[in-house]
């Protein structure tokens, strides 16, 4: 499960410890899943004590959130009373249940720290692409989702950036706006979109990718960090009819998606120090908008920060 290290302009736990939290997340997620499986198996085999075990399971679920955040007893604006939830009956559904619980925790982790909290847009809880990138890719993939970068006086919004152990992926998703469409590059500025026999001209989507690539490379160059940056155009429910592909760019359409996806899923690279250095410096150039938690200060005027 990929890690959400930056969401929009929200304050992120990773900004307070980039070299600490990625490893901690992986370790704790594994520990809690193993524990959940153990308890689930006990529940199945110890029918006579089902009621008491169910209570233990609910406490373990809450413990997962507390341990993952490594909280002390402080007021948490995210904590609401949770309804009692029965665990799924089969192991496959239990995995999905666990992934959804971790997803909710990741949203909290990417929008708050122990001392600060950002105003959260709840639509992200239902964002299928955000859930896709977090739930379908390895733990060592670090995701920036719709980040806002600040470089000098310029503010630039990105779409999806994934920092893997081996490269920095700059991703644009054509599937957000199109389905069952064939795209044909016309020139450096224009593409043709053909859907249901209808044709229309659109702006070349690679242009925005190149702009984000330049920004990322400028940050890496400033800190003398040598790390590959590659552009990806996602069109997994569409087709891209092309004769050539720009340098350091990959088109992922419905013909190429499955092989590309399996390649990412099978990645066995561990988190690397250079990867964390890159993540730390990129985070330093993102915008942060947040308020202090009530337990720390009464003034809740928003704080805006950027490079």
pLDDT in the model for residue 73: 39
Q: Which of 93, 122, 88 is nearest to 108 (CA)?
A: 122
**Residue 209: C-alpha distances to residues 18, 151, 176 (Å):** 25, 17, 15
C-alpha distances in angstroms, 109 versus 16, 78, 89, 136, 299?
11, 11, 29, 19, 22
pTM score: 0.84
**Residue 250, C-beta contacts closer than 8 angstroms, at least 6 positions apart:** 230, 231, 232, 233, 260
Residue 128 near residue 145, CB atoms below 8 Å: no
Rounded CA separation 136/102 (Å)? 13
Assess contact for 227 and 274: CB atoms under 8 A.
yes
User: pLDDT value at position 57?
Assistant: 62
Q: What token pair was written down for 115? A: 């001392």
Query: What's the pLDDT at 38?
Result: 86
Beta strands in the chain (DSSP E): 3-7, 116-117, 142-145, 148-151, 154-157, 160-163, 168-173, 182-185, 190-195, 198-203, 229-235, 239-240, 249-253, 288-292, 303-305
- What is the model's pLDDT at position 36? 86
| CB proximity list for 254: less than 8 A, separation 6 or greater | 235, 236, 237, 238, 239
pLDDT in tens, the chain (307 residues): 999 999 999 999 999 999 999 999 999 899 989 988 888 888 777 644 555 545 666 666 666 656 555 543 333 323 444 444 577 888 888 999 899 999 999 999 999 998 999 999 999 999 999 999 999 999 999 999 999 999 888 899 999 999 999 999 999 999 999 999 999 999 989 999 999 889 999 999 999 999 999 999 999 999 999 999 999 999 999 999 987 888 899 999 999 999 999 999 999 999 999 999 999 999 999 999 999 987 655 555 566 666 5
- Three-state SS for 270-292 is CCCHHHHHHHHHHHHCECEEEEE
């Amino acid at each position: 499960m990929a890690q959400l290290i930056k969401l929009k302009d929200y304050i992120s736990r990773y900004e307070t410890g980039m070299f600490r939290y990625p490893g901690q997340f992986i370790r704790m997620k594994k520990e809690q899943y193993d524990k959940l499986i153990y308890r689930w198996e006990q529940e199945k085999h110890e029918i006579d004590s089902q009621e008491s075990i169910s209570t233990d399971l609910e406490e373990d679920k809450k413990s997962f959130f507390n341990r993952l955040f490594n909280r002390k007893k402080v007021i948490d604006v995210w904590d609401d009373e949770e309804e009692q939830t029965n665990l799924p009956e089969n192991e496959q559904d239990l995995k999905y249940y666990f992934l959804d619980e971790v997803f909710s925790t990741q949203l909290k982790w990417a929008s708050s720290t122990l001392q600060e909290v950002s105003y959260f847009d709840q639509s992200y809880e239902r964002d299928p692409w955000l859930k896709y990138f977090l739930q379908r890719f390895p733990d060592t993939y670090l995701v920036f989702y719709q980040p806002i970068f600040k470089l000098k006086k310029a503010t630039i919004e990105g779409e999806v950036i994934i920092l893997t152990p081996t490269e920095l992926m700059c991703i644009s998703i054509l599937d957000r706006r199109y389905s069952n469409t064939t795209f044909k590059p016309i020139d450096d500025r224009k593409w043709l979109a053909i859907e249901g026999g209808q044709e229309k001209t659109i702006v070349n989507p690679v242009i925005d990718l190149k702009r984000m690539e330049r920004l990322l490379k400028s940050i890496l160059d400033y800190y003398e960090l040598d790390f590959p940056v590659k552009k990806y155009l996602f069109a997994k429910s569409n087709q891209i009819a092309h004769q050539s592909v720009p340098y350091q760019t990959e088109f992922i359409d419905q013909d190429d998606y499955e092989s590309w996806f399996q390649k990412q899923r099978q990645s066995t690279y561990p988190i690397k120090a250079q990867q964390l250095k890159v993540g730390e410096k990129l985070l330093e150039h993102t915008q942060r908008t947040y308020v202090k938690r009530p337990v720390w200060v009464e003034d809740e005027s928003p704080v805006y920060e950027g490079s």
